[in-house]
Amino acid sequence: MRWVADVPPGVYVDDEYMRTSYGVVWREKDEPLAVGKLELRPSGVRLDGLDGSRDIPYRLLAGVRVGRLAGERIDGRPSVVLERHAGGPIMIATVAKPSLMGEIVEKLAALQVGDDLARRA
């Protein structure tokens, strides 16, 4: 048996090959729902919507969690809550599969921790 890497040689975790994106809706403060795509990038989260794009560096996030309270839900479903150091939280829900929320929270937490460690080095 031979081991084969699934990433081309010379490509690291922070390269474009490692990006992951999801179809989502999100809400910030009392604004109407936005529809678009969430991209997990090496340096932060990117929300791409019809009204433009928004980049949120991991260093600006205080935490990531699943929001189950009434004010955190989107269309009655739990959401991914991005808690920021400054400004209100951003609630995000997947469009196609609600089961992807756990995956998004896990990946965001791992990327956020990785970003913290890189800044401390």
pLDDT in tens, 42-100: 889 999 999 899 999 999 999 899 999 999 999 999 999 999 999 899 999 998 877 78
pLDDT of res. 19 = 47
* Three-state SS at 10: coil
HSE at residue 8, side-chain half, CA atoms within 13 A, is 5
Model confidence, pTM: 0.75
**64 DSSP β-pair partners:** 82
pLDDT of res. 107 = 87
Calculate mean pLDDT across residues 95-107: 84
23 vs 114, residue with greater confidence: 23
**Domains in the chain with CATH codes:** 20-120 (2.30.29.30)
